[in-house]
């Protein structure tokens, strides 16, 4: 029962879509109704409100990090194995993709995935962030940077933490992230993907 409670709480925390929450608080349009339709920091940035985009990015990343850190801290007190941390990591990420509070219309998971990875291992998170920044800096395309980081994340996890359950969990997160970017893949192949900071 404690394990199911941990997973359920992780999912509910993941369901807090900060793109929608911040936009409502700052009286901005619903990010699901303009641009790419994705409730994420990149789409919020299309409003021209950098503060809103930054708060969205921070909130979505923090919820992933907080869930992993809290699960790791509290699991021993409830007699739960270390694997519960990995299950909570997956739950908070899935909550972001399919949020209960917002009709299951979630974001693509880049910021939340980063928060989860930093929580699992700071070096893992930094390696993925460095990959994202490098690709984004060169090509100015957020989705391409996210896909590159997702592709390398399981490799980084394996090299840093061994090729066990953590690497498998990171692989599942990466596959889900790539799946959520399927429309971006089509646009990338046709040369129609928007660049960072572009308003639609």
pLDDT: is 119 or 49 the higher one? 119
Q: Which of 184, 179, 186 is nearest to 150 (CA)?
A: 179
Q: Which of 188, 28, 199, 32 is nearest to 104 (CA)?
A: 32
Convert the pLDDT of each residue in 142-160 to its tens digit: 899 999 999 999 999 999 9
Domain ranges of the chain: 2-190
Q: What is the pTM of this model?
A: 0.94
Contact 104, 98 (CB under 8 A): yes
At 82 the pLDDT is: 87
Number of H helices, E strands in the chain: 10, 0
Q: Answer whether residue 200 shows pLDDT above 70.
A: no
Confidence of residue 33 (pLDDT cuts 50, 70, 90): confident
Element spanning 152, H or E:
helix 142-161
Contact 108, 165 (CB under 8 A): no
Q: Which residues contact 101 (CB under 8 A, 6 or more apart)?
A: 15, 16, 17
Confidence of residue 93 (pLDDT cuts 50, 70, 90): very high
Q: Which of 131, 136, 110, 153 is nearest to 19 (CA)?
A: 110
């Amino acid at each position: 029962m404690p394990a199911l409670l941990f997973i359920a709480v992780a999912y509910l925390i993941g369901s807090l879509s900060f793109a929608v929450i911040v936009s409502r608080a700052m009286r901005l349009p619903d990010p699901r109704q303009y641009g790419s339709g994705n409730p994420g920091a990149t789409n919020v940035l299309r409003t021209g409100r950098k503060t809103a985009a930054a708060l969205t990015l921070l909130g979505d990343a923090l919820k992933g990090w907080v869930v992993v850190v809290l699960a790791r801290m509290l699991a021993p007190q409830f007699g739960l194995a270390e694997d519960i941390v990995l299950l909570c990591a997956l739950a908070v990420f899935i909550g972001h993709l399919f949020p209960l509070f917002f009709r299951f219309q979630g974001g693509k998971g880049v910021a939340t995935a980063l928060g989860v990875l930093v929580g699992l291992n700071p070096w893992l998170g930094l390696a993925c962030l460095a990959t994202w920044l490098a690709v984004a800096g060169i090509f100015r395309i957020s989705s391409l940077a996210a896909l590159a980081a997702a592709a390398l994340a399981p490799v980084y996890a394996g090299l840093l933490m061994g090729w066990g359950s953590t690497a498998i969990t990171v692989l599942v997160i990466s596959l889900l992230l790539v799946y959520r970017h399927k429309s971006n893949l089509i646009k990338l192949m046709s040369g129609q993907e928007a660049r960072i900071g572009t308003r639609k």
